[in-house]
Amino acid sequence: MRAMPPAHPFDDDKLKEECGVFGVAGVADAANFVALGLHALQHRGQEAGGIVVHDPEQGFNSARRFGYVRDNFTSHKVMETLPGPIGIGHVRYSTAGNKGNTAIRDVQPFFGEFSMGGAAIAHNGNITNADQLRRELIERGSIFQSSSDSECIIHLMARSLQRNIPERMKDALRRVEGAFSVVAMTRTKLIGVRDPLGVRPLVLGKIGDGWALSSETCALDIIGAEFIRDIEPGEMVVISAERGVESFKPFEPKKSRFCIFEHVYFSRPDSILEGRSVYETRRQIGVELAREAPVDADLVCPVPDSGTPAAIGFSQESGIPYAMGIIRNQYMGRTFIEPTEQIRNMGVRLKLNVNRALIRGKRVILVDDSVVRGTTSRKIKDMILDAGAAEVHFRIASPPTAWPCFYGVDTPEREKLLAANMSEDEMRDHLGVDSLRFISLDGLYRAAGVAEGRDPASPRYCDACFSGEYPVEPADMIEKGFQLKPAAE
């Protein structure tokens, strides 16, 4: 998926996951389960969603819509058009306020009709050699219907000479570079695949006699499914009524490089990643931050909602009271109408408000998950000072974000990342706060359960947005002139 302008002036100051995938097989009315799963994954994609199902009598049916799952996939009128015991779905991140910038044909899942029957796929991640593949496929006669890199997979499958869909998918994905967690379906099979590095998450669940695949465990919870296990990096599972869950390893084995920002921000705090509670990791980040960057203050306040677990951990470790100094408007939707320049200039205040009675005269520690461009951080600091705070100290629950992500995260270009152009002290002065400290990369690894910290020779996670060390070279971006971090830097 390609990035586009944000919907609101403060929405470009966070890194954004671009999609979530979900699928079920062996259940009655699969579309209802898929809709519930996508609702639980809405944080991973808010621009659009789609569902594809198969019914033995009616064949394949699909629905793709712009907007939230709750607005599109809850009415009987829509759901009645999606019968069948097997289905998959996809939510796409909202990177544009103007839906005209995105065509409905870009909304997944994508469907293809092959000689041995139809298949649909939903993809979370980013194909770093998609431009090269697209040129090659077009030269050989393929006709693309969307601008999505994910469509390359369908065309590669169509050109494979293998005799069944799973084997064609293996063929196709062996040509793909970058990050992919794929949920796919045929008339009778549900398929899940993770790339060899396991950058993006994918989990397996059991519901009654059926099965589910999901980007996160929180979506299994909502449908009452039992979490079975993570799909392993480089693994393909093929699920059918006849054979149950079959596991294949179609790729050359590689050391796992799971995205560490899933632990920091992307995933829901009630999910389990690699056997570890996301909430506990984020709380432990706050503990590490308090050890690495203590400060004398009166209150620890989260920047809601993503800074909350880290703020709790910081408070517990430091002994400084935790307080809700900033209140989030839970009803601030992305479709908020902004009729005047005056309202547009309210910016963050439409989304966040300061608890003035609590803040006045206090030395406040603000805990946030990240600083990207710094625009939102400056506005929040101004709000806290306007409310009468004596001091403002920022503590950030991730290292400085100095490099863009090319594996499925909507990131600004490097020149627009504050940490790519300023030191920590310069960022402190730019933001106008009394102090600014980020957790170290070693501290982040310790919080994620790696006691010895980060091994520079063999990192446990993909941390390219912090380190500039890309586990898969972004071929398309290098072709366009992107400069990798020099080896000696």
| d(C-alpha 477, C-alpha 365), whole Å | 38
Is 382 within 8 Å of 44 (Cβ atoms)? Answer: no
| d(C-alpha 365, C-alpha 321), whole Å | 10
Choose the catalytic residue: 19, 218, 259, 301: 19
| d(C-alpha 88, C-alpha 363), whole Å | 50
Any idea what DSSP says for residue 2?
A: -
The strand pairing partners of 114, in sequence order, are 117
Is 4 within 8 Å of 96 (Cβ atoms)? Answer: yes
The alpha helices in 161-300, defined as continuous H runs, are 165-174, 217-222, 261, 278-292
| d(C-alpha 213, C-alpha 191), whole Å | 8
Peptide bond into 305 cis (omega under 30): yes
**19 is annotated as an active-site residue:** yes
Q: How many residues are recorded in the chain?
A: 489
Q: How far is CA 352 from the centre of its chain?
A: 23
| d(C-alpha 385, C-alpha 367), whole Å | 16
Q: β-pairing, 178-185 with 117-127?
A: antiparallel
Which amino acids are annotated catalytic?
A: 19
